[in-house]
Structure 1
Amino acid sequence: MKNHLKRIASPRTWVLDRKETVFTVRPNAGAHSLNFGLALGTVLRDVLKLAQTMAEVKKMLHANEVLVDGRRRKDHRLIIGLFDVLAIPSLKQYHRVVFDKKGRLVLVAIKEEESTFKPCKITGKTVLPKGVLQFNLHDGRNVRATEKANVGDTLLISLPDQKVKKVLPLQEKASVFLTGGKHAGNFGVLKEVHGKEATFLAEGQDIETAKTHLFVVGDSKPLVTLS
């Protein structure tokens, strides 16, 4: 795999100046697809503007405690994506990756206490011996738990120990965030699910979307910062 990627060919979800330089960092394969994640080095240099060159980024990663989902990371090619938490305690900076209302990956500032948990959408589940459930989550992790939940629901997990704090069911009146389609980045209240489609209310307007685009982020209101 090439170590670089032409900016002009980068996913539309990336917020980059495509004419600034020819190439940008290609993230390593990991928990997120290219459309749902960015290289850690790109985030530090081009999004948060904490460095001017990739050499400065590498120095920063080795000198400072840069945490992704509560664990120290030193690889500038590590892919970080939707709802991941980036924390730099020495700079008192805490951010979460979300989509803006144009469907682009951005980092929103969050409070330190919010950096200790993360919503994860259930993409699959397996029943293990003694009734223990293993949930496959949107960010590639697998979590074992005894809580009952279905594919499409969200688990609110603690970081970095990934214990289940709460189950957020995909149901009417749930607070949902859209991760795909022309309304990606919008959030509101789920009104109904009908087959593979769903209707949710955002800013006083009913919006139709695919059920697969729904990501539950709270009961009646979001439990995480979205903008």
Structure 2
Amino acid sequence: MAKKGKDNKTKRISVPSAIPIRNKKHYTFIVSASPGPHPKNFSIPLAVLLRDELGVCSTQAEAKKIIKQKNVLVDGRVRTNHKFPVGFMDIIFIKKLNKYYRIEIIKGKLKAIEVKKTDVKYCRVTKKLTIKNKKISIGLHDGKTLIGDNNIKVGDTLKISIPEYKIIQLIKLQPGVNCIVYKGKHGGKFGKLEKIIEQRGSMASNVILRDEQNKELITSLNYIMAIDEEFFSKN
């Protein structure tokens, strides 16, 4: 009889390169992420984050216990599912450590970077729709939707309060703004947006960034997020 239902585990050797794993040869399998706000190939199951990335515990059983005891908050909300997927720009609070972390991209991998206490999250605008009563629905990279206005464009960044998810500030994607590349071969690099190169048809536009060494970096418009100076003040 054929197997039915979803897979609860993934072979460590086949884990997507963006997911940090201590040693892919140490165990045969790791837990698979549940369906959630981030795609499976670009998110870390909560138990894997605690064990392999943060080193809070040494086994999955210990990770599950910590999570079930409501010691982990994602974007200001308690998560008790050890398979919950955390992804780019999520804010993690570990009560056991009394520390905050932000999921960033370092050399193409998702990494938990310690930051000062924060109730703000950066979200990239991925969709914009007009809905009932002429309201503007804004779709964000983490799957959330908000009601915004026409001044917000796809590609812009919103600074959102957590856990309320209210708009605090709009960062326009325009020449001169600081950006982080979060996908592709340049994932994890920073630079100022110099120019947007429009493409014809359905092809995504490209952008030219200029890094601190004054080197030119060309990548897809869909691979960058606009940020502000406050992003760099982590401590």
Distance 2:27 2:57 in 1: 16
Q: What letter matches 1:119 in structure 2? A: Y
Shift of 1:222: 5.0
Name the structure 2 match of 1:214: 224
Is residue 2:182 matched to residue 1:179?
Answer: yes
Shift of 1:214: 1.3
Contact preservation (8 Å) 1:217, 1:224 = no
Contact preservation (8 Å) 2:75, 2:92 = yes
Name the structure 1 match of 2:165: 162
String of CA shifts for 1:166-202, please: whole Å, max 9, x gaps.
1111100111010122111101111111111110011
Gaps of 5+ in 2: 1-5, 199-204
Name the structure 1 match of 2:65: 59
Equivalent of 2:136 in 133, 136, 142: 133
Distance 1:22 1:225 in 2: 39
Identity %: 31
Distance 2:127 2:39 in 1: 17
4+ residue runs of structure 1 moved beyond 4 angstroms? 224-227
Equivalent of 1:8 in 5, 13, 21: 13
2:57 alignment partner, SS class = coil
Shift of 1:203: 2.5
String of CA shifts for 1:23-82, please: whole Å, max 9, x gaps.
111101111112321000000111111111111112111224310000001100000000
| Greater Cα radius of gyration, structure 1 or 2 | 2
Gaps of 5+ in 1: none
Shift of 1:14: 1.4
Equivalent of 2:78 in 51, 65, 72: 72
Task: Point out the more displaced range, 120-129 or 70-79.
Answer: 120-129
Q: What letter matches 1:52 in structure 2? A: S
Q: 1:172 to 1:214 in 2, by over 3 A?
A: same
Shift of 1:145: 2.4
Aligned length: 222
Name the structure 1 match of 2:3: none
What CA RMSD, in Å, does the superposition of the two structures yield over aligned residues? 1.7
Distance 1:164 1:156 in 2: 6
Is residue 2:208 matched to residue 1:202?
Answer: no
TM-score normalised over the length of structure 2:
0.89
String of CA shifts for 1:105-135, please: whole Å, max 9, x gaps.
11000001x2x01111111111234543210
String of CA shifts for 1:197-216, please: whole Å, max 9, x gaps.
11001122111111111111
String of CA shifts for 1:73-101, please: whole Å, max 9, x gaps.
1100000000001102342111010110x
Contact preservation (8 Å) 2:75, 2:91 = yes
Contact preservation (8 Å) 1:98, 1:226 = no
